[in-house]
Chains A and B, each alone.
Chain A
Amino acid sequence: MNLDFSPEDLAFRDEVRAFIAAHYPDSLRGKQDEGEELSKEDFLAWHRVLAAKGWVNPAWPTSEGGPGWTSTQRYIWGEECAAADTIGVMPFGINMVGPVIYTFGTPEQKQRFLPETLNGDIWWCQGYSEPGAGSDLASLKTKAERFTDPADGKDYYLVNGQKTWTTMAQYADWIFCLVRTDPNAKIQEGISFLLINMKTPGITVRPIITLGGEHEVNEVWLENVKVPVENRIYDENKGWTCAKFLLAHERSGIAGVARSKRGIERIRQMATTELGDDGQTLLQDPAFKRKVAELEIDLTALEYTELRTLAAESAGKGPGPESSVLKIKGTEVQQRVTELALEAAGHYGAPYFRGFPTDGDNMRPIGPDYAHRTAPSYFNVRKTSIYGGSNEIQRNIIAKMVLGL
């Protein structure tokens, strides 16, 4: 047992810190800190810098083009990115479908999709949830019927159904979908994993506007969408195996420790500027100070739980059902961070800045900049205890898989 980084780890930290300082795009500086909404170009700008360096996919094995970092190095990388307030890398290609493809795909599929996924030429979105299949994902109904097209003699799936909560589908080039290929099998056994080009005729994307006014998620309608059979990953009706594998990957990293640390740092900064009822800074207010302290302690417990998980992982144990602990506590801490930020903003948490009519004197500021997105952020991160398997589902997983109840 020891908590120190090795000299190699410290040298690695210096290297990545210097790289971020030198290469993080100027156009993105401050955007994460201000909580600005990011465009596709914003995401791709950083993605491409990392891809060129070979660092966009820290968790991939070297055999698949990953940098070969240890779990400690990956942890340091996350810390340094958060400390520098970099934007994230879209997870759908790198953390989700990429590992599915290199684990379950054919050599042809790997060649077709992985290079473009890495360099950012394919923007992926995830076609999992449906209106009737959320927590109960396996009950999904989108169907894919196999047929041979007489025109070219090739086999295709005809896909019909609706996906929902599809994050950033408005930008996507491809979608990876769970579809039902055998309606008569037990519900988890008739599912296949398909890759579908978003330009295929019959696909319609409709925006869903969320509480803070954001357009992050969409409905994706599939009407007689023709998908070549070679776009299926792994065996027909074995898609649930890919889905379970992917869910485990989706959960790793969901603790968001480094981001929450940065969030608390921002709250501390706000609270040194904001004044309390007595004219002292808010950070001198015993009640507020205590809440910040409690949150930091909660986050520290989470951090060391994550470090233990990482250590187990580097000893060859893959992310198991214990990662549900990270998801539950990680999202609770993230949500608490936004609650405290909104509280610190005081009256100026109320103004709403999205495309509002600019009546009156536009030169007058409406409160401090740091207050502007506190309420929308608070509303927005309520999603984190719902998505990726709701926290109720995560508790069921722990009860069943960890505690054996």
Chain B
Amino acid sequence: MDFNFTEEQSMLRDTLASFLQDKYSFDTRRASVKSASGWRADYWKAFAEELGILGAPFSEDLGGLGGSAIENMIVMEECGKALVIEPYLGTVVIGGGFLKYSGHASATDLIGGIIGGEIITAFAYAEPQGRYNLADLKTTAKKDGSGYVLNGHKAVVLGAPWATHLVVTARTGGSQREASGVSVFLVDKASAGIVTRDYPTVDGQRASEVYFENVSIPADALIGVEGAGLPLIEKVVDEAIAAICAEGVGAMRRMHENTLEYARQRKQFGAAIATFQVLQHRMVDMFINVEQSLSMTYMATLKLDESAHDRAKAVSAAKVQIGRSAKFVGQAAIQIHGGMGMTDELAVGHYFKRATMIEGQFGSVDHHLRRYEHLSIDAAA
């Protein structure tokens, strides 16, 4: 039993934290969000070259730093604390995750492109009708000569406006919600027939509606095994969920800190509001929520390499915890900040918005409760 970080892991955290401290102030982030592109391409370059964090979770023979999911957790927690909008999740955790496990002939080269900052991926999986069911797919990939032709509509593809490539889930067979017949493709975003509509999201990111209209892709766009992609998707999505749990913990931690600070300096009725017991207890409950969330994030991250059943159960349990805690901590933070918490000027509201989106990302509390019930209770019955 050991919950300590290695020296390399602590160094990774310190390096990123100090970069974000220096360069990723709330005002800087706000300017990025409002800019035409919506992000800082130069920061992405710095992540790749100056900090080297884009290689954090890859083994050394893939050109990485020799880390694993723990490194993703560290990076994402720091990203949560600074509300980083650049697409580490979509590119390193998800794009890199798929490639890592795919056995793809060019996986090493492509991962090299991710580590170097040249390849940026966005995950085109959700569809307007499918809610959180990863197999509910109407998008099709039909065999055409040696390659495939893609048709379909992907909803709210986070980070797509910045991406060079899209990771696309599509049906090569089976019916709409069937587990088999699902395949994964890595598609050059510049391919003919891809139509996008780009927009900001409420938490300061960018996303696109992505339409595939007879998009021809080569045979080697296939990631993993044709028609048997769902287990791989579930594995990578579970890793992504563990990563956003860590991001959520970072955001919650900051909301709690900001709230304590505000309550200590805000005076009403001749006293700091931090001295009012009703608010003290609320701030204690926030603290308990952050600690429980951190514990569940550790638990889920450390179980990512266990059996699919144990991994899924751990991840869904963590997501339920983080979803509930994000709501509690966020709402309490706004309430204790009073009117100030409602303003666009203060960071706390922006953490609240990101935390709210994390609640629903890759499945709501209900979705993951149901998944957990199925794996833990139904399976034992």
Contacts and interface: CB of A to CB of B under 8 A. Distances in A.
B is a partner of A: yes
B378 interface: no
A188 to B, nearest CB: 12
Contacts of B356: 342, 375, 378-379
B132 interface: yes
Interface residues of B, number: 56
Nearest to B282: A392
Given A134-B339, A164-B339, A211 B353 contact: yes
B360 interface: yes
Nearest to B36: A357
Contacts of A391: 335
B207 A350 contact: yes
B295 interface: no
Contact of B268 (A134, A351, A359): A134
B337 to A, nearest CB: 9
Contact of A279 (B177, B334, B357, B360): B177
A208 B335 contact: no
A275 B367 CA distance: 13
A392 B278 contact: yes
A366 B197 contact: yes
A129 B339 contact: yes
Given A278-B177, A357-B36, A364-B209, A382 B129 contact: no
A343 B364 contact: yes
Interface string A192-212: 000000000000000011111
Contact of B203 (A350, A356, A365): A350
Interface in B354-372: 356-357, 360, 364, 366-367, 369-370
A212 to B, nearest CB: 8
A208 B343 contact: yes
A365 B209 CA distance: 8
Size range of the chain A interface in the assembly: 35 or more
A172 B307 CA distance: 64
A352 B344 CA distance: 15
Contacts of A357: 36, 198
A285 B366 contact: yes
B342 interface: yes
B350 to A, nearest CB: 8
B71 interface: no
A187 to B, nearest CB: 10
Given A211-B342, A350-B202, A277 B367 contact: yes
B314 interface: no
B268 A135 contact: yes
B99 interface: no
B136 interface: yes
Interface string A355-377: 01101111011110000000110
B211 A343 contact: no
Nearest to A291: B366
A383 interface: yes
A288 interface: yes
A136 interface: yes
Contacts of B196: 359-361
A361 B197 contact: yes
Q: Do most interface residues of chain B lie in helix, strand or loop, or is the interface mixed?
A: mixed
Interface in A254-277: 274-277
Given A135-B338, A211-B349, A287 B197 contact: no
Helix, strand, loop or mixed for chain A's interface?
loop
A361 B195 contact: yes
B155 A287 contact: no
A213 interface: yes
- Chain A CB within 10 Å, residue with most, of B198, B203, B279, B345: B198
B335 A382 contact: yes
A386 B348 CA distance: 15
Contacts of B338: 134-135, 386, 390
Contacts of B199: 351-353, 356, 359, 366
Interface in B178-225: 195-203, 207-209, 211
B124 to A, nearest CB: 12
A395 B282 CA distance: 15
B50 to A, nearest CB: 29
A383 to B, nearest CB: 5
Nearest to B266: A134
A386 B339 contact: yes
B202 A376 contact: yes
B258 interface: no
B335 A386 contact: yes
B366 A387 contact: no
A288 B366 contact: yes
Contacts of B343: 208-211
Residue of A275, A362, A376 most packed against chain B (CB within 10 A): A275
Contacts of B339: 129, 134, 164-165, 217, 383, 386-387
A352 B200 CA distance: 6
A356 B269 contact: no
16 contacts: A135-B338, A136-B269, A165-B339, A208-B344, A208-B345, A274-B131, A285-B366, A350-B202, A351-B156, A353-B199, A359-B198, A360-B197, A364-B197, A379-B202, A379-B356, A382-B335
Interface of B: 36, 126, 128-133, 136, 155-156, 158, 161, 176-177, 195-203, 207-209, 211, 267-269, 276, 278-279, 327, 331, 334-335, 338-339, 341-345, 349, 352-353, 356-357, 360, 364, 366-367, 369-370
Interface of A: 129, 132, 134-136, 139, 164-165, 208-213, 217, 274-279, 282, 285, 287-288, 339, 342-343, 346-353, 356-357, 359-362, 364-367, 375-376, 378-379, 382-383, 385-387, 390-392, 395
List 9 tightest A-B contacts by C-beta distance, closest first.
A136-B268, A359-B198, A277-B133, A209-B344, A360-B197, A375-B202, A347-B156, A287-B366, A350-B201
Given A346-B360, A347-B126, 8 more contacts: A136-B268, A209-B343, A211-B343, A275-B131, A279-B129, A347-B128, A350-B203, A350-B207
